[in-house]
Structure 1
Amino acid sequence: MTSVRTDAELADRVLGGWLGRIAGNMLGKPVEQGEVWTRDRIDRYLRRTAALPLTDYLPEPPADDDGPALRPEWRDCVRGRVHGSCRDDDIDYTILGLHLLETHGFAFSTEQVGDLWLLRLPYLQTFTAERAAYRNLANGLKPPLTATYDNPYQEWIGALIRADIHGWTSPGAPRRAAGLARRDAVLSHTGNGVYGAQWAAALIAAAFTAPTVRAAVDTALAVIPPGSRLARTVRRVVSLHEAHMSWEDALATLTDETAGLHWIHVVPNAAVLTAGLLYGDGDFTRTLALTVRGGLDTDSNGATAGSVAGVLTGADALPAQWKDPLEDTVRSAVFGFDGVRISELADRTLRLVTLPG
């Protein structure tokens, strides 16, 4: 592992993570409906709109398009129409995580995570496991019962999408990042749902110091149980990549091997995300494009892939077509944060950073 050499480099990497997360989320948002927008349908859409290879935000649908409808938010998320970020839960939770650390520090409790949800996050802007946990909190239940009572989504992707802030604030310290993410995740998730959060936080923390994407993936694997289905699936992606299987064939294989799991379950999405990272090989645009073309929970996977790739690349080197349309502005449902500057969020994150040693 290498080290982050200067304060300026660290600041550039943290801002790169924020910009990458938001850009990846925006790229995937119009096709976020995994049972409708399969890999094949996404690529057919890109061919119809002359957007393969994908190097920018999705193009808007042609007037005579007879394919599946994009999500209603597409008008603010496609190329030429992006003016600041769309509001999305993938970014709301990142902002809320920052607010958590600013309010309670790194010794925060799971109960304090829940208290901030009730105080700052509208109930109708939560989904699946988070909505179940929110309802349980409102009814007076305490963790870990908030994650298990009447919650069929315990191993879905929700906790993973909340993990980035713990990676950004623990650069080069993946185990510390994973521990923080776990404390957050158990409010709403169990099993592989929690492991997904630990893995993502460790992956992002490792991206600050790992010499390659593959090294970051290997480091992140070390923080979750090796016999878990999540760990076995990530290792399977690594093995297919090592065998020089094409990205298309690797995803087809992984789809067969994770058949039966919901498109928001953490395991198949971790497979798509890992493949996007490995086959993207550190190239920001290729990483985002492959991850979103992989389907399933496209905006969540695009966001995490963008976060990792943004940390690896740094904000200064991010291609202009991804960062300039964001206009340094975030829309958010988190009370008190709508319209905040991305650069301000990055600066506030940087003030919290704890380096290993």
Structure 2
Amino acid sequence: MNAISREAVLGCWLGKAIGGTLGQPFEGLDGPLAATFYEPVPTGMVPNDDLDLQVVWACVLAGQAEPSVTSSALAAAWTAHVEFPFNEYGVAKRNLREGILPPFSGSFDNWFTKGEGAAIRSEIWACLAPSDPATAAEYAYRDACVDHAGDGIIAPMFLAALQSRAFSGGTVDDLLDAGLGVIPRDSGIGRVVIATRAWCEEFPDWRDVRSRILSRFASQDFTDVLMNTGFVVLGLLAGRGDFARSILITSNCGKDTDSSAASVGATLGILSPTSIPGEWLAPIGSDLVLSPGIVNLDAPATIEEFTDLVLRLRERVTFVPREAQHDWDPRSKAVRVTRSWSTRAGELGALNDWFMPPSHAPAPVSTGESADVELEGTWSQLPAESFENDLMLLRYPLDAQGVQHVRVMVASNLLVRVWLDGDWLFGRDGGAMFPAPHMPRMNTFADVELGAGPHELTVVLHRPEAGHVGEWVVAIADSRTKEWIPDALRVPPEKGAV
């Protein structure tokens, strides 16, 4: 391994840490922002899952007698070393604990399939397959399919290929071409990359390009890979090779700022390690600081030691064929509920409750016929035309599997009211969804103490406007860890309900 290659790998991790530290205080903000430096200026590296997970993957692979990148090995690492409950991470770990293997662990019952969670893990695969975009992209696929699907997989493949190409030098356009070469150009990621390149040529002000990215690719989920990948491309192009300008443009676009700025910083750190200014390096230091959610791992103490671990691993890792995909029927994980239909039209005073059952009152009693139905999972969708009346009443059997401190979350874009064992819990009158138990929106959750089950959760949803689709996610989590409780809504019929 020559000194230049080591410098590029070290530049990757330093650039990653700098970009993540810059963007972290602004994560989730809409933008555009106007930062010109760290706010606040750190006194050391700030831990971030963007780097944490790549340290886990490297340590796990390094511990193998004959290292090879497989989805099964990475899936095992999730449950052994990662306690993050975040977004797609939490869903994937729930699926894995329910016996659902990759790639279905990423695609099944996952509202966050297009989240940034795998795109932020692309660098390790570029470092293990430098100047080999196709292999780097394949490694990224094997990683991403554990907790993503669709564009949530395509984005890290694009970035891993782009960053792998950066080890050979060249221009940003050379890197973008390499990334596009491993993905479908008609995918969402392909479209946003191509469109952003064209807009960067047409508009000199990055803010104008940002506005166009959002006009076509915006999402209610600030972690969505489409718009955030657009911001990465924008920073790389509009920054014109200037490290600070590039990461600032991307971070100032807003949304998933730490993730997108970290991707830009890592890419430029590979392409030109000496381009990282000293004033950006100094506050970071060299200590490798991991989040408390990374457990049971003997990790390197410094970024330099981590760099050397990756370089040694690169010499040892062997490419093996992709694991055969097993047969799995998603119907085996259906959620069985009792459904009935109702309306409050014509009732005196119904308008006061927006024609929903009154809040803080006992759970409504079905007056019409009820039927047992199977929902695909915890995440359900139903178009307005499939509603048989104004109100859909769903009764979910619930078993917290011995967990006493429980978070009940029902996130929906519809008017919704929720009761547990007949007692009022919460309600919300529609709005944007973010169905993550660790950071639910107001009035979409309650923390309760449960005795031995089973219990019954009553959810009432109002029909959406004509032509619209209603969706809802019901999550049962440990209120202390915010981790999903596996199979909490799949109560065997013989156990019954209250």
TM over 0.5: yes
What RMSD over aligned residues (CA atoms) do the two structures have, in Å? Answer: 1.8
Match of 2:54 in 1: 94
Aligned with 1:107: secondary structure?
coil
1:150-169 equivalence runs, <5 A:
150-169=109-128
- Compared CA separation, residues 160 and 106, structure 1 to 2 (3 A): farther
Match of 1:240 in 2: 199
2:198 aligned with 1:206? no
2:148 aligned with 1:189? yes
The residue identity in structure 2 corresponding to 1:177 is A
Aligned length: 312
The residue identity in structure 2 corresponding to 1:349 is V
Which has the larger displacement, 261-270 or 94-103? 94-103
Displacement of 1:197: 1.1
Displacement of 1:324: 1.7
Query: What percentage of aligned pairs have identical amino acids?
Result: 30
The residue identity in structure 2 corresponding to 1:350 is L
- Compared CA separation, residues 353 and 283, structure 1 to 2 (3 A): farther
- In structure 1, what is the Cα distance between the partners aligned to 2:299 and 2:129? 26
Displacement of 1:136: 1.3
- In structure 2, what is the Cα distance between the partners aligned to 1:171 and 1:201? 10
2:257 aligned with 1:265? no
Of 197, 206, 210 in structure 2, the residue corresponding to residue 251 of structure 1 is: 210
Displacement of 1:342: 0.6
Cα-to-partner distance string for 1:286-324 (whole Å, 9 max, x where unaligned): 11111101111000001111100111121x542112212
Displacement of 1:244: 4.3
Which has the larger displacement, 300-309 or 130-139? 130-139
Displacement of 1:337: 4.9
Match of 1:30 in 2: 25
Displacement of 1:227: 1.0
Larger-gyration structure (1/2): 2
Aligned with 1:344: secondary structure?
helix
Aligned with 2:233: secondary structure?
helix
Match of 2:184 in 1: 225
Gaps of 5+ in 1: 1-5, 47-53, 59-77
The residue identity in structure 2 corresponding to 1:19 is L
1:41-120 equivalence runs, <5 A:
42-43=33-34, 46=35, 54=36, 56-58=37-39, 78-79=40-41, 82-104=42-64, 107-120=68-81
Of 138, 142, 145 in structure 2, the residue corresponding to residue 179 of structure 1 is: 138
Aligned with 2:63: secondary structure?
helix
Contact 2:300/2:306 (CA < 8 Å) preserved in 1?
Answer: no
Cα-to-partner distance string for 1:171-211 (whole Å, 9 max, x where unaligned): 11111100001011111111100001101111111111141
2:307 aligned with 1:346? yes
Match of 1:326 in 2: 284
TM-score for both structures, normalised by structure 1: 0.83
Displacement of 1:111: 1.3
Match of 2:233 in 1: 274
- In structure 1, what is the Cα distance between the partners aligned to 2:73 and 2:300? 25
Contact 2:107/2:145 (CA < 8 Å) preserved in 1?
Answer: no
Match of 1:7 in 2: 2
Aligned with 1:39: secondary structure?
coil
Contact 1:97/1:162 (CA < 8 Å) preserved in 2?
Answer: no
- In structure 1, what is the Cα distance between the partners aligned to 2:238 and 2:85? 32
Contact 1:133/1:146 (CA < 8 Å) preserved in 2?
Answer: yes
- In structure 2, what is the Cα distance between the partners aligned to 1:162 and 1:206? 16
Displacement of 1:232: 0.8
The residue identity in structure 2 corresponding to 1:57 is Y
The residue identity in structure 2 corresponding to 1:102 is A
Which has the larger displacement, 246-255 or 91-100? 91-100
The residue identity in structure 1 corresponding to 2:264 is A
Gaps of 5+ in 2: 318-498
- In structure 2, what is the Cα distance between the partners aligned to 1:189 and 1:132? 10
- In structure 1, what is the Cα distance between the partners aligned to 2:299 and 2:73? 22
Compare relative contact order (CA 8 Å, sep 6+) and give the higher one, 1 or 2.
1
TM-score for both structures, normalised by structure 2: 0.60
Cα-to-partner distance string for 1:130-180 (whole Å, 9 max, x where unaligned): 110011112222122211232111111111111110011211111110000
- In structure 1, what is the Cα distance between the partners aligned to 2:194 and 2:275? 30
- In structure 1, what is the Cα distance between the partners aligned to 2:275 and 2:265? 13
Match of 1:133 in 2: 92
Which has the larger displacement, 316-325 or 299-308? 316-325
Contact 2:123/2:163 (CA < 8 Å) preserved in 1?
Answer: yes
Aligned with 2:283: secondary structure?
helix
Aligned with 2:282: secondary structure?
helix
Which has the larger displacement, 253-262 or 290-299? 253-262
- In structure 2, what is the Cα distance between the partners aligned to 1:236 and 1:186? 26
Contact 1:193/1:266 (CA < 8 Å) preserved in 2?
Answer: yes
Aligned with 1:141: secondary structure?
coil
The residue identity in structure 1 corresponding to 2:46 is C
The residue identity in structure 1 corresponding to 2:16 is R
Match of 1:49 in 2: none
Contact 1:24/1:288 (CA < 8 Å) preserved in 2?
Answer: yes
- In structure 1, what is the Cα distance between the partners aligned to 2:119 and 2:137? 11
Contact 1:329/1:339 (CA < 8 Å) preserved in 2?
Answer: no
